[in-house]
């Protein structure tokens, strides 16, 4: 993983801490961003969405997507931006017909029910997703100040398995009965769909990289609902298939770190250690000290990244409903649980602070300010 362009990558950013931590390099504070940081808890987001008319109206319009992506950065000193989009754009481009009814989750008009439905699936023409790539380029431009990016921009996709869950269920599910019925009854169909999903996700993320994404994240939101054994065969293997196809550098020649987050995947860290990616995301059930010992890797003085993973996470988003003093104390617990990150000149264990799941729409915005400030303050203190 030696990369001579690393320094250049970081030079092109006012705040490169997120990318540095992804590459397991020392940073002056623990970088922090929040899953779903551009979202309904922000009144300015709600206002823009009202103007756009709908969630898809927002997500498919380059200017709106740019506007809402930057909104949380205006309020909080976050260390990364993440593309405003949805994890289900890829199956939508496959023709499944994505919509978001008011107050409900996503729905597909044409879910995958039969062998014939699976037979019709194919990697979609990326032209259908041009609105996403346009948004990426537009956001990169909007982030540029004095010729440098304020913070890096993260692109993302749902994982092959997570997409399959929605494609078969047609919407969110409590029990994943339909998708698991297919998995256990017709594993051949499920594998076929997952191959197509993996190749689609790889093409999708590569196009985001070409458009300017400086890191890419795979959200395996539903990997944790699988049984031990099934997770490895039906989720992890296809995340690996995506990773194997990903470009390692942007069009500017700069390295693009890859992040994988499996909600509920804490028991499979040992398996995920083998993934060809830089960062593993963790939910709040995971003990960060154990995770660091297991997959955080050793310290290297050579300046290249070792075989370990940077870790991202993992505070319970519900902490944000507590008063600021309680938020501060819970932030300290999470940072202390990881321990002082690597501080030398080579590479070693690093931590990117995040929630263990997307932020709740009911979160008081001023509590987010308290969290971000606490992460920066306490993590600087730990390094002193």
Q: Using CB under 8 A as the criterion, which residues of the chain lie in contact with a copy of itself when the complex forms?
A: 175-177, 180-181, 183-185, 224, 226-231, 264, 266-267, 284-288, 315-319, 321-323, 326, 330, 333, 337, 356, 360, 362
Whose Cβ is closer to a copy of itself: residue 130's or residue 232's?
232
> Is 86 labeled as catalytic in the residue annotation?
yes
To a copy of itself, the closest distance from the beta carbon of 193 in angstroms equals: 17
Is the separation of the CB atoms in 240 and 268 below 8 Å? no
Euclidean distance between the first and final Cα of the chain, in Å?
30
Which among 36, 107, 150, 258 is annotated as catalytic?
A: 36
The minimum distance between CB 34 and a copy of itself, in angstroms, equals 15
Set 3, 40, 241, 377: catalytic member: 40
State in angstroms the smallest separation of the CB of 72 from a copy of itself. 20
Tell me the closest approach of the beta carbon of residue 112 to a copy of itself, in angstroms: 16
* 199 assigned to active site: no
**Residue 40: φ, ψ to 5°:** -65, -15
Closest approach, Cβ 238 to a copy of itself, in A, equals 18
Looking at the Cβ atoms of 203 and 315, the one nearer to a copy of itself is 315
Nearer to a copy of itself, 113 or 177 (CB): 177
CB nearer a copy of itself, residue 8 or residue 181:
181
In sequence order, the β-bridge partners of residue 384 are none
- Judged by CB, which is closer to a copy of itself: 15, or 37? 37
Query: Shortest distance, CB of residue 194 to a copy of itself, whole angstroms?
Result: 17
Which of the residues 41, 64, 166, 300 is marked catalytic? 166
Q: Active-site residue among 45, 76, 86, 300?
A: 86
Of 242 and 315, nearer to a copy of itself (C-beta) is 315
The catalytic position among 41, 45, 49, 238 is: 49
Specify the DSSP class assigned to residue 326: H
CA distances 315 to 137, 266, 283, Å, are: 31, 14, 7
Instruction: Show which residues are catalytic.
Output: 36, 40, 49, 86, 166
């Amino acid at each position: 993983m030696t990369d001579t362009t690393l320094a250049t990558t970081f030079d092109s950013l006012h705040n490169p801490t997120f990318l540095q931590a992804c590459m397991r390099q020392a940073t002056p504070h623990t970088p922090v961003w929040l899953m779903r940081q551009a979202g309904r808890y922000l009144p300015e987001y709600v206002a823009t969405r009202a103007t756009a008319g709908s969630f898809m109206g927002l997500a498919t319009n380059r200017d709106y997507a740019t506007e809402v992506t930057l909104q949380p950065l205006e309020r909080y000193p976050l260390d990364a931006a993440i593309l405003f989009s949805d994890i289900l754009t890829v199956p939508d481009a496959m023709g499944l017909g994505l919509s978001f009814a008011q107050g409900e989750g996503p729905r597909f008009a044409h879910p995958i029910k039969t062998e014939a439905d699976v037979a019709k699936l194919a990697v979609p023409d990326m032209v259908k997703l041009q609105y996403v790539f346009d948004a990426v380029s537009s956001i990169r431009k909007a982030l540029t100040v004095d010729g440098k990016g304020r913070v890096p921009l993260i692109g993302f996709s749902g994982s092959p398995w997570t997409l399959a869950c929605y494609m078969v269920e047609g919407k969110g599910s409590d029990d994943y009965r339909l998708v698991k019925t297919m998995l256990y009854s017709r594993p051949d169909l499920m594998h076929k769909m997952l191959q197509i999903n993996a190749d689609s996700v790889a093409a999708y993320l590569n196009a985001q990289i070409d458009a300017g994404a400086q890191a890419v994240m795979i959200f395996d939101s539903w990997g944790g609902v699988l049984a031990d054994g099934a997770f490895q065969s039906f989720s992890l293997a296809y995340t690996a298939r995506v990773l194997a196809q990903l470009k390692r550098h942007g069009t500017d020649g700069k390295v693009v770190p890859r992040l994988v987050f499996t909600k509920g995947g804490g028991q499979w860290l040992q398996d995920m250690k083998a993934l060809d990616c830089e960062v593993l995301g963790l939910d709040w059930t995971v003990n960060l000290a154990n995770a660091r010992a297991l997959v955080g890797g050793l310290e290297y003085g050579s300046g290249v990244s070792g075989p370990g993973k940077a870790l991202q996470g993992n505070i319970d988003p519900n902490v944000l409903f507590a008063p600021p003093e309680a938020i501060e104390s819970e932030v300290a617990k999470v940072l202390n649980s990881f321990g002082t990150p690597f501080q030398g000149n080579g590479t070693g264990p690093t931590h990117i602070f995040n929630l263990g799941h997307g932020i709740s729409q009911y979160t008081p915005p001023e509590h987010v300010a308290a969290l971000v400030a606490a992460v920066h303050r306490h993590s600087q203190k730990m390094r002193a």
